[in-house]
Structure 1
Amino acid sequence: MKRFIRQLRACTLATLLPLAPLAATHAAPPTAAANQEIEHLIVHLRNSGCEFQRNGSWFDSKQAADHLRKKYDYLLRKDWVATAEDFITRAGSESSMSSKPYQVRCANQAAEPSATWLRTELERYRSARK
């Protein structure tokens, strides 16, 4: 029984510890422009046809976009995202459960960190809107 309790505590800490930095940081709600950028990133991922790796498994772009949408909705409820950069850092970069970085792999290209892939698209999107 003691072993079970120790394992339960360790599991609880492993789950909650990655969220600790977020708990202390409340952000203002995203502006309309920031929300539009975040929506663009999610839709762009969905339509990209790229694969998305999280926790060692590869998922198609629709599953990846759905996953990031759920994380974004959670962050919104907690007031933990105000900008597209917040979204990338807190939702699109790594697993909040394992802290393993996400990867994106597009046709005939090497996998790259999802944070890099998302930031590149955000820069492209912002440049195109100017």
Structure 2
Amino acid sequence: MKDLTHTIYRLMACLLLTVSQLSFAATTEQAVTHLLSFIAQSNATFIRNGDQHTSTEAADHLAMKYHKGKRYAKTTDEFIENLASKSSWSGKPYTVILKDGTKIISKKWLTNELAHFRTTEKPQ
């Protein structure tokens, strides 16, 4: 009976872990989707490997990188760090020129927006 009880507890723990990981994955997806939408709607200019790109082009490029490289972005912070802040080809950081002319590296800009998103949005 004692072995059966331990087995049941282990199964319950595994089930809870699986459910929590699924919830976490959904939250990560929601946050990445938010960041991609934020980028697309920003009307900022993105500098990638010395070339200028529109905000829509940047969002499309990062969505492609995320789709192909999800294994490097298990969390939204990893998405920013590993995919959305620098070129995987050259290693050069992405730069953003905002509508008001402010120049900022994308890592800082996206990290600030993620912090804002986390304090204002509730996961569904």
Q: CA shift at 1:80, angstroms? A: 2.1
TM score, norm. by length of structure 1: 0.73
The alignment's C-alpha RMSD in Å is 1.6
Larger Rg: 2
Shift of 1:111: 1.1
In structure 2, the gaps of 5 or more residues are: 1-20
Give, in angstroms, the shift of residue 107 of structure 1. 1.1
Question: Any gaps of 5 or more consecutive residues in structure 1?
Answer: 1-27
Give 3-state SS (helix, strand or coil) of 1:104's partner.
strand
Shift in Å at residue 39 of structure 1?
A: 0.6
1:57 counterpart residue number:
51
Q: How many residues align?
A: 101
Please identify runs of 4+ aligned residues in structure 1 that moved more than 4 A: none
Measured in 1, the distance between the counterparts of 2:120 and 2:72 equals 27
User: What is the TM-score of this pair, normalised by structure 2?
Assistant: 0.76
Aligned-partner Cα distance in 2 for 1:48–1:112: 13
Work out the CA distance in 2 between the residues paired with 1:80 and 1:120: 21
**Any conservation in 1 of the 2:73–2:83 contact (CA below 8 Å)?**
no
Identity %: 35
1:47 aligns with 2:47: no
Instruction: State the match for 1:9 in structure 2.
Output: none
Q: After superposition, give the CA deviation of every residue in 1:29-76 in whole Å (9 maximum; x if it has no partner).
A: 861001100010001100111111100011000000000001000112
